[in-house]
Chain A
């Protein structure tokens, strides 16, 4: 009993040992063996789907039967780029993405700068968690919270009325284009929600970039006679810029692709994401939805190449 058991064990050990030696000598086969399952999955499910999306953007839809014609054509792209309504949607989405990116960097920079330079180690941990927590809180719950806050009798209106700024709010809502009947149905409201949602994505990369600025550099600048403002402008800001660029990739891309926020909070104008969702759903026009979703991919690709020049990827 014992002997056979021991024999089996050593035989198994020998077999397993042999296999280990085999793969140690041939690292390529070992890597291949490890990578085949995940890449097979990823390649078919994700890249395969992406490819099919791209393919279907070259299909078109028959206007009379509403059936998808599976023949390659540029008709859908022509429809996308020549109909004024569609061009409006693309421009509107891009304007919002730019505005949100600028606002996020303006609000995020002081927070990141404070974290990186002034906070004690204890405070740093506190700040870090304080930035991470809202980032990981359920996306939908946060959108819903803003719906409550921006509602007509909601918290923000109450707050502004209490501190006597109710008039200012009314004036802001009376502004053409960005205003609306209530905060919850205006571009101002939508803008606030977008800025709130993506702010942590901006703070973290700026913080990472600022953490890497050596303290000696700032001291050297001061020793050489620079005033704090000059040091900030000429030393810190250029070094922090890759972080801002990296953060802007997130805020930009997230705004371009979102379709829930413009639906829940905001004015009646359409955004790219809503168009994609609606075209595939109610209209069943997958080719147009596909063509619309190629727009953010192209914009982000262009944006990435620009931002790469600013060293954004070193800051990630």
Chain B
């Protein structure tokens, strides 16, 4: 099938590979810097390598409490997003009614508009209502865009499940709960899991909305953000950055495999 006409030019190949390298080397640099022995400047190449900063970070209570807060927020936001997002997708997947277009459009707004809009509007509303900022206001902001992620994942799956499946289940004598438990949920499980994991990862490293709604709370991204402007603990920041990469990467890779394997089956 492949004729010589179908082969890329050398220049094109170089451009494609160059693009990929450009997209990946910054992350590798971060990992490298986490091991550098130089702690005052960003000297490259690093003069030497050490594991010292990892053990240092391990004993820091402020890093641990920021990590705990981030994990807690991500867990709560993911839970709320899973419940609300799947309800919304179940309601919108097969129904037709007046105003549905408007609702689906409104549901993608949190990811279509820049994050700063979500942040400033939540803050403006919370201030107007005299709500004190803290843990739950962070969750409130995160759940809003996490809901959209779950909704997108679940509705994509629902569109592929034939309606006849639930009807057959009911015809065979199952009631609504049984149909949900034995027919719908097994079909949706991997989509829910994937959506939940993406939502978790998104919430865990969110900064744009969080800075507006966090008040005096410090999530792990806010801890890094502070270091960007008042760099006191350069080597530790590198270690925390590597930590964040790992914690967000694992659920994302899992989510990718989950959605892929189910797509291949269908």
Contact = CB atoms under 8 A, between A and B. Distances in A.
Given A257-B115, A257-B117, A45 B205 contact: no
B19 A259 contact: no
A20 B106 contact: no
Interface stretch (A72-80, A233-241, A289-297): A289-297
Given A132-B256, A280-B120, A296-B114, A31 B20 contact: no
Contact of B44 (A27, A136, A154): A154
Interface stretch (B55-63, B86-94, B182-190): B86-94
A196 B170 contact: no
Contacts of A37: 83-84, 87
B191 to A, nearest CB: 16
A141 B87 contact: no
A146 B212 CA distance: 24
Interface in A239-277: 249, 253-254, 256-260, 263-264, 273, 276-277
A202 B71 CA distance: 31
Interface string B31-58: 0010000000111110000000000000
A185 interface: no
B122 interface: yes
A150 to B, nearest CB: 9
A216 B22 CA distance: 33
Chain B interface size band reads: 35 or more
B8 A155 contact: no
Given A137-B249, A140-B205, A289 B120 contact: yes
A53 B91 contact: no
Contacts of B241: 138, 141, 144-145
A61 to B, nearest CB: 13
Given A144-B224, A258-B116, A276-B120, A114 B8 contact: yes
B252 interface: yes
Given A258-B114, A280-B124, A293-B117, 8 more contacts: A49-B121, A107-B15, A130-B20, A136-B249, A141-B30, A152-B42, A203-B19, A277-B116
Interface of B: 5-8, 12-13, 15-16, 19-20, 22-24, 26-27, 29-30, 33, 41-45, 80, 83-85, 87-88, 90-92, 95, 97, 103, 106-107, 109-110, 112-118, 120-128, 140, 143-144, 147, 151, 170, 175-179, 201, 205, 207-208, 211-212, 221, 224-225, 228-229, 237, 241, 244-245, 248-249, 252, 256
